[in-house]
Amino acid sequence: MGIPYKFKEINDNLSKDTKKKGGVHPIIKSREKLNTKALAEYIAGNDPVLRTEMELAITKTFSAIEKALKNGYTVALNDYGAFQLSAQFREDFDPEEPHRAESIEVKSVNFRASTKMKKRISAAGFEKSDK
């Protein structure tokens, strides 16, 4: 089983030339979303005891990652990647006021895949999607 993809046409609405740029580019078509329960089933197979244990392990792992991020850590999972926070000023921030912690909010939680993980996934291959 490979990574499903399809081609999408490139619409060039910005070019003012009479010769518009066109073509296609590939996009990944996800088979479906795996929530915590589905991921536990994917790992454990038909073993209901292992499935329950896996669901608990996944939940505890991500709770620990969340707690570490809230405490200012970057969480690096060896050979997989790292979770890190980014920050921004709040919308109601007044530049005339002094900068304080209350002026800042979490912008996003970022995951950056490691080079090793990217190489492993790149080796998977692709298959054309019917969707």
Q: Does the residue 9 lie in any domain?
A: no
Residue 111: alpha-carbon gap to chain centroid: 6
Instruction: Please give the tally of structural domains in the chain.
Output: 1
pLDDT attached to residue 19: 65
Q: Does the residue 95 lie in any domain?
A: yes
Q: Does the residue 35 lie in any domain?
A: no
The strand pairing partners of 7, in sequence order, are 26
Q: Does the residue 19 lie in any domain?
A: no
Q: Which helix (H) or strand (E) holds 125?
A: none
Q: Residue ranges of the chain with pLDDT lower than 70?
A: 13-21, 131
Q: Does the residue 97 lie in any domain?
A: yes
pLDDT attached to residue 11: 76
pLDDT attached to residue 44: 95
Q: Does the residue 109 lie in any domain?
A: yes
pTM value is 0.76
pLDDT attached to residue 71: 96
Give me the domain span that covers residue 85: 74-122
Q: Does the residue 94 lie in any domain?
A: yes
Q: Does the residue 67 lie in any domain?
A: no
